[in-house]
Structure 1
Amino acid sequence: MTRLLPTSTAGSLPKPSWLAEPETLWSPWKLDGAALTEAKEDALRVALCEQQAAGIDIVSDGEQTRQHFVTTFIEHLEGVDFEKRETVTIRNRYEASVPTVVGEVSRQKPVFVEDAKFLRAQTSAPIKWALPGPMTMIDTLYDAHYKSREKLAWEFAVALNEEARELQEAGVDIIQFDEPAFNVFFEEVNDWGMATLERAMEGLTCEKAVHICYGYGIKANTDWKKTLGQEWRQYEEIFPSIRKSSVDLVSLECHNSHVPMDLIELIRGKKVMVGAIDVASNVIEKPEDVAATLREALNFVDADKLYPCTNCGMAPLSRDVARGKLAALVSGAAIVRSELQG
């Protein structure tokens, strides 16, 4: 991007009612077969139009082609049985029924590549596409085969790299790996988690992003946040490793959080997607609220490396609220951009 303060979203946008239940996270599809494919494409067009109408610079599919940000990718891999389910604790926060790894995992076919080609055909704007990161993938399964979080992460990294390379060939400009697990398993991140993410990014010439947030605005996450005190310093544990990595962009949760903004100094030199929109609230930010967050971030990241963004995905919100938040993000960025350009 050559534009100063290019805007983007961290991930999902609300799905239309013909595709899935509105304002419901990870709602099942309402259609199947060819009808589902057509509905996803229609929803992708709508999500793109919403972003274009708001003035978002770096667009995405709004995750209209994914039911779940992790398991939709896993569904297409060999070695995972979705009928054989176990209950696990996700990121030390809440229990969930998850599929089981029963054999060697591998990617036999593309997962999102055709969707990315479809989006590329609809727009000339820069495209960002999200994939789950290896560590977050292993935290969303029961492993009855490898019985080693590290071994399974390395296998997933190989599959992710295959997908990422084909997404790049399909015309994706930025590939984002979602790693909320990085905010929980600090020792593992520094021991082998960052290394598996590097394996997932191996050989990519497009820009590479990692998204590390405190989660959607669901009760399990908001309850967890209440236990973190007045300062959320989790990023401090992992930023040194990220700074030394080949990651180009780092997506962070900032607005309405207790993350000390000066932690961004630890990744000086990286491009930073500063979360200036609170996705855990239905309150639509005022442009000046967004501008204030961005101004504070500019104390710790150079203007040419600041990318105004949302804290996380907006799938659980209403379409009206999400639309308002997109507009606020763009307007707030425009205020600061004008200030910077004199």
Structure 2
Amino acid sequence: LVPVYREVLLSLRNAGCQRVHFEEPALVLDTEDWHWDLVEEAYRELSQTGVSLALFTYYDSVSNYERFVSLPVQSLHLDLVSNRENLENLRKHGFPADKGLIAGVINGRQPWKANLRKKLKLVEELSKIAENLVISNSCPLYHLPVTVEPEEDLPEGLKERLSFAKEKLGELKTLRDALNGSESAVEKVKESEKIHTEAFGENPEVRKRITSLRDEDFRRDLPYREREKIQREELKLPLFPTTTIGSFPQTEEVRKKRTAYRNGRISEEEYRDFIRKQIEQVISFQEDVGLDVLVHGEFERTDMVEFFAFKLDGIATTKHGWVLSYGSRVYRPPIIYGDVSRPGPMTLEEITYAQSLTDKPVKGMLTGPVTILNWSYYREDVPKKEIAYQIALALLDEVRDLEEAGIKIIQIDEPAFREGVPLKRRDWQEYFSWAVKAFRLCSRARPRTQIHTHMCYSEFNEIIEFIYQMDFDVISIEASRSKGEIIEAFERFKGWDRQIGIGVYDIHSPAIPTKEEMKLVVERAMKVLPRELLWVNPDCGLKTRRWEEVEPALRNMVEMTRELREEVHAGV
């Protein structure tokens, strides 16, 4: 690739470009000396093009500070928000006089206004370390919405604490102007400190619940093998139980009705009746297809995190705060601004109505505390693990209500469990310690209640031990893209005894899976795991698919499973 980059740089130089910005966040990962040898060799060649090179790193500290600052480039960016190590290295080792330091002092990932007084002191210190100093954001601003200006429906007192992309640039300008002696900028710096000294969003009852937590609150009453016997007797499910992950197609009609309700064009009663009709139809459909464990379809939900943000105190949602999720997909991250609590039931009405329509078990569907936290902006005045425990306690209240209403299976999805892991392995233990405990706290159900979790498209091999520690009863995973090869992670884990829902077809593809294709995935799993542990399901929710795709796919899946049961019982 280096010759290609060299050619591009020469073309840019010939067009009049004098400076090029390079993004190298990979340099904060765990790297070895030979990695740095390659990086140094590459930039030595690129530096010969005559273009001034600025190298940006972010999301953590660079893995080797001394190698980093010796690279043959003109400017280096350091993230001084996400970690302490970069600043400690600057203080300890200094910074080369022949290079420019681009100091990432304003947080580019979280939406909170900075304490500019503290930032100004930091910048003044940095100006004594680096002769050529530029101040910047800590990382790209695409993690944030464009501006907070149009947000008029936030909880009282929150908007004045927020700073989105446009406002972050304003903070940088204020710091620059204050450094240059602007009186108005200096006054803004002083004012910025006030909101950081005022209590906001505190709930004494939530704080009391957190401080009262004991070790037993993170353990279920019985170990898995005893729970499993009780649950098999309670549920009486067949070999290879079939189910779906949770959501069914969100048609244009569903989306229009939700928008009409939110805009006040239809009444709450009319919207509720519409949702109930959708639930009736999806329960009838699932029974007709022959699924063993049903779901209510999640027609009332926009997004698996935003839905719960609407229902929980201490979390706000925006109307215009869109950011990129992946590819061209966007979402609006909720903002956890205070102590999190559940003012009332969140899913009980829809789940229990669905259960009233069938004799088959209907799963309660919740999003787990780690995913809610990792897919939201979160406050910075309390430890991250405490926020996770607050969310977990709110979800535990919901679990208890679902149990009291007779729901026998509850799924707590954690697709972002792996996503939030720190970039450096040395920090993994601390993260997984509280992440596992948060899940265990919210899933502390009765022994007869079967707890499911769902994880999609994770690298299980690296974290299988931590997954096992979550102490669920059933986990559903993606297995179709790899034709079941992901099962190898569970094969290598000695003593795996939990049930696994095998994702037998890829819901991200419009292709209708054949029975033969899905059977191959299950048969691959049966070579590794006892068949009594296996469930059969799609690899993710069906929200983005069309009914014309969903119906034949699920019918094929159920028919394949029935045929497989017959083969097993016949000893084939």
TM range (shorter): 0.7 to 0.9
Alignment deviations for residues 229-257 of structure 1 (CA, whole Å, 9 cap, x no partner) = xxx7x112222123244210011000123
Letter in structure 1 aligned against 2:289: A
Alignment deviations for residues 95-116 of structure 1 (CA, whole Å, 9 cap, x no partner) = 6432322221110100111112
Provide closer, same or farther for how the CA distance between residues 69 and 281 of structure 1 changes in structure 2, counting only shifts above 3 A.
Answer: same
SS at match of 2:334: strand
Alignment deviations for residues 197-246 of structure 1 (CA, whole Å, 9 cap, x no partner) = 000011433001110002xxxxxxxxxxxxxxxxx7x1122221232442
Map 1:253-292 → 2, pairs under 5 A: 253-257=478-482, 259-265=485-491, 266=493, 268-292=496-520
Aligned residues of 1:18 and 1:30 also touching (Cα < 8 A): no
Aligned residues of 2:242 and 2:293 also touching (Cα < 8 A): yes
In structure 1, C-alpha distance between the alignment counterparts of 2:321 and 2:383, rounded to whole Å: 16
In structure 1, C-alpha distance between the alignment counterparts of 2:545 and 2:319, rounded to whole Å: 31
Q: Given the two structures, how large is their TM-score scaled by the length of structure 2?
A: 0.52
Match of 1:114 in 2: 349
Match of 2:465 in 1: 240
Matching residue within 545, 551, 571 for 1:323: 551
Q: What is the CA-CA distance between 1:35 and the residue it aligns to?
A: 1.2
Provide closer, same or farther for how the CA distance between residues 68 and 145 of structure 1 changes in structure 2, counting only shifts above 3 A.
Answer: same
Higher relative contact order (CA 8 A, sep 6+): 1
Match of 1:227 in 2: none
SS at match of 2:475: strand
SS at match of 1:180: coil
Alignment deviations for residues 102-155 of structure 1 (CA, whole Å, 9 cap, x no partner) = 221110100111112211110010121221111110122222364543221111
Aligned residues of 1:18 and 1:39 also touching (Cα < 8 A): no
Segment drifting more, 290-299 vs 76-85: 76-85
Match of 2:436 in 1: 194
Q: What is the CA-CA distance between 1:91 and the residue it aligns to?
A: 9.1
Provide closer, same or farther for how the CA distance between residues 191 and 244 of structure 1 changes in structure 2, counting only shifts above 3 A.
Answer: closer
Match of 2:569 in 1: 341
Alignment deviations for residues 63-95 of structure 1 (CA, whole Å, 9 cap, x no partner) = 123221121112111112224876667699976
Match of 2:455 in 1: 212
Aligned residues of 2:315 and 2:335 also touching (Cα < 8 A): yes
Q: What is the CA-CA distance between 1:18 and the residue it aligns to?
A: 3.0
Instruction: Point out the structure with the larger helix share.
Output: 2
Match of 2:159 in 1: none
In structure 2, C-alpha distance between the alignment counterparts of 1:287 and 1:242, rounded to whole Å: 30
Map 1:27-46 → 2, pairs under 5 A: 28-31=258-261, 32=266, 33-46=268-281
Structure 1 residue 136 and structure 2 residue 371: aligned?
Answer: yes
Letter in structure 2 aligned against 1:314: L
In structure 1, C-alpha distance between the alignment counterparts of 2:320 and 2:444, rounded to whole Å: 32
Letter in structure 2 aligned against 1:255: S
Structure 1 residue 97 and structure 2 residue 332: aligned?
Answer: yes
Aligned residues of 2:275 and 2:300 also touching (Cα < 8 A): yes
In structure 2, C-alpha distance between the alignment counterparts of 1:245 and 1:310, rounded to whole Å: 22
In structure 1, C-alpha distance between the alignment counterparts of 2:241 and 2:462, rounded to whole Å: 28
Aligned residues of 1:286 and 1:328 also touching (Cα < 8 A): yes
In structure 2, C-alpha distance between the alignment counterparts of 1:103 and 1:245, rounded to whole Å: 26
Structure 1 residue 171 and structure 2 residue 372: aligned?
Answer: no
Matching residue within 294, 302, 305 for 2:533: 305
Aligned residues: percent identity?
Answer: 24
Provide closer, same or farther for how the CA distance between residues 92 and 242 of structure 1 changes in structure 2, counting only shifts above 3 A.
Answer: farther
Letter in structure 1 aligned against 2:439: L
Provide closer, same or farther for how the CA distance between residues 92 and 300 of structure 1 changes in structure 2, counting only shifts above 3 A.
Answer: farther
Match of 2:78 in 1: none
Provide closer, same or farther for how the CA distance between residues 41 and 95 of structure 1 changes in structure 2, counting only shifts above 3 A.
Answer: closer
Question: How many residues align structurally?
Answer: 319
Aligned residues of 1:59 and 1:128 also touching (Cα < 8 A): yes
Aligned residues of 1:9 and 1:310 also touching (Cα < 8 A): yes
In structure 2, C-alpha distance between the alignment counterparts of 1:144 and 1:190, rounded to whole Å: 20
Q: Given the two structures, how large is their TM-score scaled by the length of structure 1?
A: 0.86
Structure 1 residue 66 and structure 2 residue 301: aligned?
Answer: yes
> Unpaired segments of 5 or more residues in structure 2?
1-235, 422-427
> Unpaired segments of 5 or more residues in structure 1?
22-26, 215-231
In structure 1, C-alpha distance between the alignment counterparts of 2:490 and 2:237, rounded to whole Å: 22
Aligned residues of 2:237 and 2:292 also touching (Cα < 8 A): no
SS at match of 1:209: strand
In structure 2, C-alpha distance between the alignment counterparts of 1:299 and 1:78, rounded to whole Å: 47
Aligned residues of 1:295 and 1:336 also touching (Cα < 8 A): no
Map 1:220-239 → 2, pairs under 5 A: 234-239=459-464
Alignment deviations for residues 168-211 of structure 1 (CA, whole Å, 9 cap, x no partner) = 22222211111111232343652211110000011433001110
In structure 2, C-alpha distance between the alignment counterparts of 1:68 and 1:280, rounded to whole Å: 17
SS at match of 1:14: coil
Segment drifting more, 184-193 vs 64-73: 184-193
Map 1:155-166 → 2, pairs under 5 A: 155-166=390-401
In structure 1, C-alpha distance between the alignment counterparts of 2:237 and 2:331, rounded to whole Å: 43
Aligned residues of 1:73 and 1:111 also touching (Cα < 8 A): yes
Aligned residues of 1:70 and 1:131 also touching (Cα < 8 A): no
Aligned residues of 1:104 and 1:145 also touching (Cα < 8 A): no
